[in-house]
Every structure is written in structure tokens, then in C-alpha cells.
Amino acid sequence: MDITEIIQHQHDEQRRQFAVLEEWSRDDTEGLAALWGRLAIFLELHAEAEERYFYPELVKIGSGGADAESVGEEVEDAIHDHNEIRDAVGRANAAKTGSDEWWTAVVDANVHNSNHMGEEERQDLGDFRQRASLQLRHDIAVAFLRYMAQHAADGITPKDKDPEKYVEAKEEAPPTALAKKAARQDGGVPDEPADDAPSKKSSPDLQE
């Protein structure tokens, strides 16, 4: 297993579930509510699992991928995106299923999520593929999927995070248990990239 592949696959599934909602009969509000309830849980669990297991390791070893200025900038953007998605999901959950207010919130969630996934795929995932060992990528995937499976039935309570404080805390934190385990198995050093070369960048005019 590889966390970058797991995240990519889950992004594809999120796109598919939003597409199903768009095609569903507008009159079947019971069906819409069931489909949305499943997707809302999925979106929050995916975001929280990234924040618990993926971004803490990326902050330590990333260098900023593609058009990101730095690893700190790409992770701050991701946390900010998650907060926007949570806001839209919360508005949809508070609205009457199938109402104009509900659809607006659902579409807002789709827009925020789509923008986030595209940026994360070219920056965060690309950065991690180039810097993390295969062992670390596997160990994160196991922890990530385990967490999501444990909470898949009932979901979790959404909680926004301050992007700057999040990155600062992860930068200053000691090596995680996952990083230590991977380093022992690889014979490496925790919180050091498997490859010292920085991740490949876009041309400067495309960098934010």
C-alpha cells in the first residue's frame, strides 16, 4: 500500500459520488439524503486522516512540489481548503435536503473539494512521492485506512484548524511513531527525506 495512491483513489471516489448526486432524481429526497450523508462522512474522515497521518510527515520531509512556494505553503493551503469544505458540508447538513439552499451548499462543497484535490495531487502528493521512502508511504497508508474504517459508520465531529498554527506545531514536533518505525526498517533517520534532491518545480511564473 502507498498513501499517495490511497489518497488519489479516494479523490476519484469523491468525484464519482458527487457525480451520482448530480444525476439523482431531484424528487427522491430520501435517496439524496442517504447519498449525501455517506459522502459527508467520507469527506470529513478523509480530511481528518490526512491531517493526522499524511501532512505531519509531509511537513517534515517535503520541499514544496510543482507550483507551491514551499512545503509549509502547500500544507497551509490544504488545511485552509479543508476548513472551506467543512463549512459547505455543515451548511448542507443544516439545510432541508433537496432545497435550493441545500443544493447550493452541496455544489459549494464540490467546488471547494475539486479545487483542493487538484492542487493537492500536483503539489502535496507529488512532493511526497519524491521525498518519502516506500516504507513510510506504506505505514502511513495502513494507519490512514485503519482510522477511516474505525469511524466509517458514524463519522466524526468536524473541527476546523488554524493553518499556520497547524504547520508550526508539526514542524516543531518530534518524529512521529510512524517516522521512527519506517526509519528503523529502512535503516535511515526519522524526519529526513529518502532522497535529498528537492521535489521538481514548475516554472517560476506558475508558482503562487
At 141-192, the pLDDT tens digits run 999 999 999 999 999 999 999 999 999 999 999 999 999 999 888 777 777 7
As a whole number of angstroms, the distance between CA 198 and CA 196 comes to 6
pTM metric for this prediction: 0.93
Quote the pLDDT of residue 193. 81
As a whole number of angstroms, the distance between CA 29 and CA 14 comes to 20
Look up residue 142 and give its three cell numbers.
495502513
In the beta sheet, which residues pair with residue 201? 66
User: How would you classify residue 191: left for phi > 0, otherwise alpha for psi between -120 and 50, otherwise beta?
Assistant: left
8-state DSSP, 176: P
Do residues 127 and 70 touch, judged by C-beta distance below 8 A? no
